[in-house]
Chains A and B, each alone.
Chain A
Amino acid sequence: DAGITQSPRYKITETGRQVTLMCHQTWSHSYMFWYRQDLGHGLRLIYYSAAADITDKGEVPDGYVVSRSKTENFPLTLESATRSQTSVYFCAPRSEQVPSYEQYFGPGTRLTVT
């Protein structure tokens, strides 16, 4: 969906390196979410944001940092990548349309940490 873009789509990095995953929405949804998806664990929430400059931790925030200076962008940074952070990462803006509050997923970034 052109409304959500994630970059890069694929990334290989080495243990200890910093890497930033980008997420951009063409809408103006206030809420945005970062998930990781791993076999056996399903989708797990890393961080989310209710608006520009408002962020909060999800279920698995350790080792990650987020920022949100503009409504449309929500980058996720791995400060010092570890092999356990090898995963597929999805960004998901959420509509505030009642009652559905539909949440849409970007195409994902497949990250491999060697």
Chain B
Amino acid sequence: QKEVEQNSGPLSVPEGAIASLNCTYSDRGSQSFFWYRQYSGKSPELIMFIYSNGDKEDGRFTAQLNKASQYVSLLIRDSQPSDSATYLCAVRQSSGYSTLTFGKGTMLLVSP
């Protein structure tokens, strides 16, 4: 069973701080990695994807990938209360129809 692991949290940060969310995966052949944000009672929303080692920046969000360590992270700079949500890490499998395997998510709480 290919696994994706995330700390469940909650991760609490003050407004304006950097929030760091982490994810590890077991399928060494995985090629693409995704971060989804899910507000309570809503559907997951794709915010970032990354497929090359290193950093990828999009506004206040930075995704980091280290395939050798099988580790992917999401940094949120200048955190806002509106960033409070559950963040899901997803890994596209290397076999079959390349389905996504999701972690259970990390809850982020940003306090004003």
Contact = CB atoms under 8 A, between A and B. Distances in A.
Interface of A: 31, 33, 40-45, 48, 50, 56, 58, 90, 99-108
A56 B88 contact: no
B35 to A, nearest CB: 12
B38 to A, nearest CB: 9
A40 B103 CA distance: 11
A23 B6 CA distance: 29
B65 to A, nearest CB: 13
A10 B100 CA distance: 26
A41 B43 contact: no
A50 B88 CA distance: 24
A58 B98 CA distance: 12
A90 B43 contact: yes
B67 interface: no
Given A48-B99, A99-B51, A105 B32 contact: no
A16 B32 CA distance: 40
B100 A42 contact: no
Contacts of B100: 33, 45, 103
B49 A100 contact: yes
B44 interface: yes
A88 to B, nearest CB: 9
B46 interface: yes
Contact of B99 (A33, A41, A108): A33
A40 B49 CA distance: 24
A4 to B, nearest CB: 9
A31 B70 CA distance: 27
A56 B46 contact: no
Contact of B46 (A50, A58, A104): A104
Contacts of A90: 43-44
Contact of A105 (B31, B44, B98, B99): B44
A42 B104 contact: yes
B25 interface: no
Contacts of A107: 42-43
